[in-house]
Structure 1
């Protein structure tokens, strides 16, 4: 089960283990606060920021913060800017792409973000093939398979080091269940499995201390966890999506990856990865708890016991995931790489 001591872990760590981290899409709504949080992370020795514009300005701004890391900004307006940003990076965070607007689903983003992610994955394959790659760009259920296929075509795919960031679903579940039950959200741990959109997000309430929750309350809670992004898009009145909570979630996940690389023990977090759990059903990727280590994923945990209701949700989730993954694969096969 994923550890819930997010803030305790985020800014801790020995200065002996420092890594080069690249943020692709660093001047965007997620990219800027995510870059700030990575600047504050003491496991980072060098922070490279890349975007089509403004990345150098964001880097200059962050460079004034007195933490023990160097910040560099790159853009496509300079020769080999993307290659320089990625050169020999240890961890690559990819929040690049367009945000959701009112009425849009994550799948609506596919036509634009798929091409962006494909091109960035190609650059990663050429410049830092051994990096841990953390995909934030939606729809994650399809963009992670896109990255996998691109890396495969370049002969550098390592399934242990490719991650879809689903941490936002877990922190939402902790927060929302605490509001229902009147508890401290930092003490709530919810195992959220499946994928990272709508009905593919499966919070396993039966594994929490609140398994006796009334059905109507539980149904509303699950729906809110699954569609929490819509709540933010609506509240921002079309001016943005879940950028701040997502940047926090991304920084939490990146910190866990860095902790694993540094050899810390019992680094467990949920993430969307190539998984054996349902591969015999044609589902190559699935989000569940994994243990992270110096080589990336060291163990993929089973989802554990689930209720009959959750089993039905999982069946629906798996059918949707299969289509999402196939869509990502087809996009790469139809592309000219």
Structure 2
């Protein structure tokens, strides 16, 4: 059986970790794409991982290229290209720089991999996935942003740290924009089925919610020269694997809303079903008045950033 083909656009920290995880999970053959000035660097990353395969016992092929035609026929395109945040920068500060990058990537994907599922990580995430969708003309099922998969992982992490219980048993949902206005839904958070409201004080829970909303900024300050990459790559792989293996996973993702939760024409973090045809549907449920108010606030923030793209 022919192996799947995966293209990673952007060979920096996230791109390199994505390549490693794709190889370790044997999800398919992979090509890392970047600008000509970085071609030797990404070829080196690909070759380095190729030489790791015997120790891991995996059989996939990896290569690096600056010619975007190398993504021809890809089943999945993982877009990490763009300038990362630095201390003092907001996600919105990156908009104009990264919009030009997304414009070029959209043209290349439309030409060389029009049937691929495209997962965007470039910030400001909600605006960049919207821009890619508009510029590429791809169907909505094929375009999705990495949002709640990472935000939810952060929420789960902080709950596990505070309760000192296994992160494996923590379940929760984060909706909304991929930024400080995101909505960690406390009533969905449980540990082994037990609500966290029975395990933690209101003050502890509020501190976890705030830390989840600011988690990206916390890492930017600690790294000083970049932003999250290990956790980001892991979240992207979770989404890609759900598609490649038709797992019908419910993964909070920045999907195009067309009436769901009263939102129209925006990519927003919602519980999305990811399977063999891409984003197959969005799951809806009744929000409380407080949750509705928080979601309205994040929709307003996302709308403002999307308007700045001019698309």
Common fold: TM-score over 0.5: yes
Q: Of 22, 25, 34, which aligns to 1:41?
A: 25
**Aligned counterpart, 1:74:** 65
SS in 1 for 2:274: strand
Aligned residue among 266, 273, 276 for 2:258: 276
1:180 CA drift (Å): 2.1
Give the secondary structure class of the aligned counterpart of 1:172.
helix
- The residue aligned with 1:255 is 241
Q: Give unpaired runs (5+ residues) of structure 1.
A: 1-15, 76-80
The alignment yields a C-alpha RMSD, in angstroms, of 1.8
Aligned runs of 1:9-28 on 2, under 5 Å? Answer: 18-26=3-11, 28=12
Matched, 1:210 2:210: no
Offset from partner CA, 1:204-255 (integer Å, 9 cap, x none): 111221245543322221111111011111122x122112221222222222
Does the CA-based 8 Å contact 1:233-1:241 persist in structure 2? yes
Deviations, residues 266-286 of structure 1 (Å, cap 9, x unaligned): 322111011234485544222
Cross-structure match for 1:241: 227
Query: Measured at CA, do residues 217 and 312 of structure 1 come closer, stay the same or move farther in structure 2, by a change above 3 Å?
Result: farther
Aligned partner (choices 134, 140, 161) of residue 159 of structure 1? 140
What is the TM-score when the length of structure 2 is the normalising length?
Answer: 0.89
CA deviations 1:159-216 (Å, max 9, x no partner) are 00101011211110110111222221111111111121111x1111112212455433
Does the residue aligned with 2:308 lie in a helix, a strand or coil? helix
Within a 5 Å distance, the mapping from 1:140-179 to structure 2 comes to 140-152=125-137, 157-166=138-147, 167-179=149-161
Unaligned runs of 5+ in 2: 190-194
Q: Which residue of 2 aligns with 1:127?
A: 112
Which structure shows the higher strand fraction?
2
Cα displacement (A) at 1:298: 1.9
Aligned to 1:78: none
1:289 aligns with 2:271: yes
Q: Tell me the TM-score normalised to structure 1 length.
A: 0.83
Distance 2:185 2:265 in 1: 20
Superposition pairs of residues 51-66 of structure 1, within 5 angstroms: 51-52=34-35, 53=38, 54-66=41-53
Offset of residue 307 of structure 1 = 3.7
Aligned residues: 296
Q: Deviations over 1:128-173 (max 9, x none)?
A: 1110000011111110011011122xxxx21001010112111101
Which has the higher mean CA deviation after the structures are superposed, 175-184 or 126-135? Answer: 175-184
1: CA distance, partners of 2:157 / 2:282: 25
